[in-house]
Amino acid sequence: METSAPTARESALGFTEGVRCGWLTSDLIAWCEEHLVRTERLLLSHPGPLQRVCEHEVGVVTLQPSSPEARAKARRTTNSAVPRILEGSRHRVLQALRTAIDTDQVAFVHAALLASTVVRIKRADGLAAWRVRLTEDIALSDQVLALFALDALEHPSDYANELAVCDACGAVSLSPARLGSRHGCTRHPFGSCDTPRSRSGTPPHGLIVPGSIDESLT
């Protein structure tokens, strides 16, 4: 892996925040190439670029077909399928992260280990390390959750104390400088309380940092 390769956290947050801000097919292809293929987290069974992505309950979409006929057909299906795959993946990832916050259990980490999308390896220097190991046939949400899982294995306290998913906008944060609730973000410090519709109908719970409220409401 290149020394300048993005960390698992950078790659995972790049996906959740990118999709939240309205990714197009080209953004997905670029992210897969930079964060999965080039980093050798995803090993292709064929030469050339990533050809397809899949998602639970959505299906498979061909990104870069080889023949002109397949390309023409793929353009039609890609236009409608990729946004559904992106939103479906992000929704499933946010659900897993919210469950971790609500239950204090990182079930998505256990799932990644069970599925061997995160594995223990021995590095060249003899030290043990975690590694993300993916293929094209693994659902996009599971690929992203593997990145979060590796990050959680390397930084467990961040996931026990700092992980936040905003109920208002879906922003994911692992920042130690997080303000307000673990169901909020810097723009919506108290998550669903900042919007007319609450996710659960009850006030969000979590830490409130004394002295930070005024600043976070700006």
Least distance in angstroms from the C-beta of 215 to Zn ion: 16
The least distance separating Zn ion from the CB of residue 189, rounded to whole angstroms, comes to 9
52-71: contacts with Zn ion (CB under 5 A): none
* Shortest spacing between CB 157 and Zn ion, in angstroms: 23
Tell whether residue 97 is a contact of Zn ion (CB under 5 A): no
Q: How far is the CB of 218 from Zn ion (least distance, A)?
A: 14
Q: Is the dihedral of CA 200, 205, 211, 215 positive or negative?
A: negative
Give 57-65 contacts, CB < 8 A, sequence gap 24+.
57/88, 58/84, 58/85, 58/88, 59/85, 61/85, 63/25, 63/28, 63/29, 64/29
Closest CB to Zn ion among residues 41, 182: 182
How many Cβ atoms from other residues are within 10 Å of residue 74's Cβ? 20
Cβ(72)–Cβ(88) under 8 Å?
A: no
In terms of CB distance, is 17 or 40 closer to Zn ion?
Answer: 17
Question: Within positions 145 to 204, which residues make up the interface with Zn ion, using CB under 5 A?
Answer: 166, 168-169, 171, 185, 187-188
Where on the chain is the footprint of Zn ion (CB under 5 A)? Answer: 166, 168-169, 171, 185, 187-188
